[in-house]
Amino acid sequence: MTTAPRILLTGARGQVGWELRRTLSCLGEVVALDSRSMNLADADAVRQTVREMAPNIIVNPAAYTAVDKAESEPELAHAVNAVAPGVLAEEAARLGALLVHYSTDYVFNGSGSTPWKEDDACDPLNVYGATKRAGERAIQAAGCRHLIFRTSWVYGARGSNFLLTMRRLMRERPELKIVADQIGAPTWCRDLAEATAQVLGQIASPMSAANQAEPWGIYHMTNAGETSWHGFAEAIQAMDEFDETCAPAHLRPIPSSDYPTPAKRPLNSRLNNDKLKQTFGISLQDWHAALALCQG
């Protein structure tokens, strides 16, 4: 690109979108929209907005992420997670634009203990995972240039996430029961945003080997390492500060069977990030280090 690209960013108030607004600003003009500016549940509104903005790059971190609620609102989850990405992809193809989209470890069924690779068979266990997989397929079918980044267990210093929930509950309750048999990689939203900007910076460079290879497709992008939700909670507690009048909560590990939820969760959420490193030379830091920076 000879001129700075126009970047259309969805979900600007979400935890990933908030970080992307900052990291993408060095690459071009960022038009950041939240759900009030562009309702992803309204396909016609999405199409009209993209045509009015005529972006060079569309970055879509917005999603319906209420995993349990999706079981009772499958139509809304499908509209946001499947139909809207398809519309964005169709409009990207019409404009010759690049679409960057975020997906999830929940597209897999969680069997085994081997980290999932991008071309492994998908078999989602719940409505959320099924709608996210449908969104991936809609993007692929549209034929636009696209990058789909699957990630897992996203958290940050704002919004609604496991980190903030645990920090609150650890001060309110003497004991917390935390699932210990689901394994994955907690991923800091800032690391996701910075890695995304690095990828786009490489693609925008005419000297980039990645650009010559046309690296479109699906990539896994998580912080390095693995743990359980219980292990994540322990790490949060170890790094948190409690006043002298507040005894740290006891964190009791439990199996998923002892914590039934409307949506079934995968036990193995490990994602293999080798493709990201091989293609772009990018590896996200270990999740312990990321958590320390986020809480620091």
In the chain, what are the helix, strand and coil shares in percent, each to the nearest 5?
45, 20, 40
Catalytic option among 64, 102, 128, 155: 128
Tell me the two tokens of residue 162: 């496991």
Q: Contact, 31 vs 7, CB < 8 A? A: yes
d(CA 129, CA 109): 9
Place of tokens 């266990």: 125
Strands (E), 117-182: 145-151, 154-155, 175-179
* Burial (Cβ within 10 Å: 0-12, 13-18, ≥19) of residue 29: middle
Strand ranges (E), the chain: 6-9, 29-32, 57-60, 98-104, 145-151, 154-155, 175-179, 183-184, 187-188, 217-220, 227-228, 250-254
DSSP letter, residue 144 = -
| Assigned token pair, 150 | 């699957």
Rounded CA separation 46/215 (Å):
26
Cβ contact 217:118 at 8 Å: yes
Closest Cα to residue 154, out of 12, 290, 32?
290
For residue 128, indicate whether it is catalytic. Answer: yes
Spatial separation of the C-alpha atoms in residues 96 and 173, rounded to whole Å: 53
Token pair for 159: 């919004």
Catalytic residue IDs? 128
